[in-house]
A and B are shown apart, each in its own frame.
Chain A
């Protein structure tokens, strides 16, 4: 077609779509950050803040993000899910899991099946009470039960990262949230096909299961193929930034292909992460670190959109009864199942007692499964205004909302109770936690500019520093005396009698502030190739002491010891 004949409207529409996507991305990131910041202040995991902002902006709130906006964000969401899958896969280091493989798989089966059974029974009972229709009750029970077995890896792992958790319970949570997607899909395939048989007399359990397993196998194969490609490329790319860019490109391809082929995006991307971290454990470390930084805004948008998507305005009141039953049954099932699985396999007490608490989050994937299940179940009325398929979507949406709010908080609680919170700290984290003012004890008084050189020499013999702040009569900083400056006149003792510290001090060109983090000041000192730096008060320009690299290293080491790391 000749370019001049192209309809102008399609150009306008695509421009509008791009603008909408960009505005939603901007709104999502900034709004989410504000929500995350607020919830962090009130000691909630930040992910809760992202979701609440989504709720406020979305279908259940101000409708700034409406269904059209949400639809335009679909590819961003799919990409986010893939990145999350990749990073979760990167947490599955075989070296740490081999020892516990049998234990984790047993617990996974117990918690998943227990939740499914309890939710299926309790919700089926309520639906039967309302509809008096046994097939509808069993069908909804089966679908809701199967969906309830999955745990949301994204928000759970996000909390684990936020609170820097490390230990056997953390390993168990990571392994189970990574693997129970596969279990949930299997249970879902089984249950939704049975439900379909019951409600429409069509479909076959075996065929449906076969389809599920084909999908799972194809996702694993796709992930494996790309993982091999990533590993081969990583061996060639020396620079980490290039390696990270290449990995992102590869992931986009995996995610796109999996989505187009209706495969499990998370599982395929997870496979890439899993194989990468285990085949190239050292080389991939920096790539995962860069990807994690890259993923932060994607995570925020993803969770804001999760909140925005939850449409609960038109939900009948009585459905909240099923919602509560679902939540109680699911959480109790997960807790009891984890406890029983852990007890049976002799798992550590922290796993036995707190694993269940760490598995409460339910992700947006559950809503997707509910919608697909709804399509399979046909048009069965539960009440005169409500179809069974809509009921399932409402219940899963509402439970997802509540469980996304409860889940991250309970993960935090489980990590705290088990004592694994804050155990995955690096020296860099400690340096970000500590401030310059934390290291300013026992400093010598500053030198006066009118002090004699003999006095200055005494400082260098008495104290262990190589620089000293010099002050005037008002205690305001005038300069610093360095050992280098003193060296120039050390041999000329005759000058000592008539030279003053003011004559040999040097101006302050670099200084630390008491509120600065050790990480920032350490980086600056390394860049400037200096060992010590004066610390100057922010308002009155009064010297507060001297900070030195050796002191920073000592403080970080003792903090690591203090925190038992």
Chain B
């Protein structure tokens, strides 16, 4: 599909996400194909490595515990695994784009998930956490946002797209 064939969408303003202070280049993944569990494990590992969290095991329990209650695949190819925990030092975002999509994500519209944004917040960051969830869903409601993310060739390019900063 060429850009001229694509349905017209409102222009996407990624600055609404306010990712500049929350995301670092090492927490941006660009993948072709991956299983849900494997993807979430990878993202958890990156989050822990960034130093914002104490133990990978408790983060894993929190993230997968939330997925057990209900999948965080909110439809339109978007997944937002998120958790608030006491041991988190500061709010951290980790992003993955999976070009072929995660087919076993159990998304609400049953479509494969291509853009996954993991949010790990401290227990008392209630309002900030909810605002961030709302901004991500609001931004990616526009299919052009996912389209633009999928066009990125490298993780550095994806980082720049989302934060407006060079990697």
Using a CB–CB cutoff of 8 Å, the interface residues on chain A facing chain B are 449-450, 485, 488-489, 492, 494-495, 497-500, 502-504, 506-507
Residues of A contacting B86 in the complex (Cβ-Cβ under 8 angstroms): 507
Among A485, A497, A502, A507, contact of B66 (Cβ-Cβ < 8 Å): A502
Per a CB cutoff under 8 Å, which of B72, B74, B126 touches A488?
Answer: B126
Q: How far apart are the CA atoms of A210 and B70 in the complex, in Å?
A: 96
Cβ–Cβ contact A498 & B134, under 8 A: no
User: 1/0 contact trace for B70-93 toward A, CB 8 Å?
Assistant: 101011000000100010000000
Residue numbers in B under 8 Å from A494 (CB-CB): 137-138, 141
Q: Looking across the interface, which residue of chain B has its beta carbon closest to that of A495?
A: B134
A495 touches B108 (CB 8 A): no
Cα of A541 to Cα of B84 in the assembled complex, Å = 21
> B78 — nearest CB in chain A belongs to which residue?
A498
**Cα distance A449–B69 in the bound complex, in angstroms:** 8
Selected A-B contacts with CB under 8 Å, 20 pairs: A450-B69, A485-B130, A488-B127, A488-B131, A489-B130, A494-B141, A495-B133, A498-B72, A498-B137, A499-B133, A500-B69, A500-B70, A502-B66, A503-B66, A503-B130, A503-B133, A504-B126, A506-B123, A506-B126, A507-B123
Instruction: Determine how close the nearest CB of chain A comes to the CB of B65; give it in whole angstroms.
Output: 9
Contact of A498 among B74, B126, B129, B138 (CB under 8 A): B74
Write out the residue numbers on chain A whose beta carbons fall within 8 Å of the beta carbon of B108. 497-498
Tell me if A492 and B82 are in contact (CB < 8 A): no
CB neighbours of A488 from chain B (8 A): 126-127, 130-131
Chain A positions within 8 Å of B131 at CB level: 488
A residues in contact with B133, CB < 8 Å: 495, 499, 503
Alpha-carbon distance between A535 and B66 when the two chains are bound, in angstroms:
25
Give 19 new A-B contacts, CB below 8 A, not counting A495-B137, A506-B124, A507-B124: A449-B69, A488-B131, A489-B134, A492-B134, A492-B138, A494-B137, A494-B138, A495-B133, A497-B108, A498-B70, A498-B74, A498-B75, A498-B137, A499-B133, A502-B69, A504-B126, A506-B123, A506-B126, A507-B123
- Give the CA-CA distance A498 to B74 in the complex, in Å: 6
Question: What 10 A-B pairs have minimum CB-CB distances, sorted nearest first?
Answer: A498-B74, A450-B69, A488-B130, A492-B134, A507-B123, A488-B127, A489-B130, A500-B69, A502-B69, A500-B70
Q: What are the residues of chain A within 8 A of B127 when measuring CB–CB? A: 488
By a CB distance below 8 angstroms, the chain A residues around B82 are: 503
Residues of B close to A449: CB separation below 8 A: 69
Q: Considering the complex, give the chain B residue whose CB is closest to the CB of A501.
A: B69
Count CB-based A-B contacts (< 8 Å): 47
Residues in chain B near residue A500, CB distance under 8 A: 69-70
- Which residues B122-167 have CB closer than 8 A to chain A? 123-124, 126-127, 129-131, 133-134, 137-138, 141
Contacts of B74 in A (CB 8 A): 497-498
Interface residues on B, range: 20 to 34
**Chain A nearest CB: distance from B122 CB in Å?**
11
- Please, which residues of chain B bring their CB within 8 A of the CB of A504? 126, 130
Contact residues in A for B66 (Cβ distance below 8 Å): 502-503
Report B-chain residues with C-beta under 8 Å of the C-beta of A498. 70, 72, 74-75, 108, 137
Which chain A residues lie closer than 8 Å to B123 at the CB level? Answer: 506-507
Chain B nearest CB, measured from A480 CB (Å): 11
How near does chain A come to B17, taking the closest CB pair, in angstroms? 15
For B138, the chain A residues whose CB sits under 8 A away are 492, 494
Q: How distant is B66 from chain A, measured CB to nearest CB, in Å?
A: 7
Closest CB in chain B relative to A315 CB, distance in Å: 71
Contacts of A485 in B (CB 8 A): 126, 130
CB-defined contacts of A497 to chain B, threshold 8 Å: 74, 108
With A and B bound together, what is the CA distance between A449 and B86 in angstroms?
17
CA distance in complex: A503, B130 (Å): 8
Q: Which residues of B contact A495 (CB under 8 A)?
A: 130, 133-134, 137
Bound together, the chains give a CA A495 to CA B126 distance in angstroms of: 15
Question: What's the minimum C-beta distance from B161 to chain A, rounded to whole angstroms?
Answer: 23
Chain B residues near A502 (CB, 8 Å)?
66, 69
Q: How far is the CB of B127 from chain A (nearest CB, A)?
A: 5
Chain A residue with the shortest CB-CB distance to B65 = A502
Question: In whole Å, how far is A25's beta carbon from the nearest beta carbon of chain B?
Answer: 48
Of the candidates B70, B124, B130, B137, the one whose C-beta lies within 8 Å of that of A450 is B70
Q: Which A residues are in CB contact (< 8 Å) with B134?
A: 489, 492, 495
User: Chain B contacts of A503 at CB under 8 A?
Assistant: 66, 82, 129-130, 133
Give the shortest distance, in Å, between B164 (CB) and chain A (any CB).
24
Q: Which of A494, A498, A499 has the most CB of B within 10 A?
A: A498
Q: Which residues of A contact B70 (CB under 8 A)?
A: 450, 498, 500
User: Chain A nearest CB: distance from B57 CB in Å?
Assistant: 19
- For B135, give the chain A residue with the smallest CB separation: A492
CB-CB contacts of B36-73 with A at 8 A, as 1s and 0s?
A: 00000000000000000000000000000010011010
- List, in ascending order, chain B residues with CB within 8 A of A506's CB: 123-124, 126
Q: Which residues of A contact B129 (CB under 8 A)?
A: 503
Q: How far is the CA of A485 from the CA of B126 in the complex (A)?
A: 7
Residue in chain A with minimal CB distance to B69:
A450
Distance (Å) between the CB of B118 and the closest chain A CB?
A: 14
CA distance A342 to B138 in the complex (A): 86
CA distance A517 to B61 in the complex (A): 38
* Cα A499 to Cα B159 with chains together (Å): 26
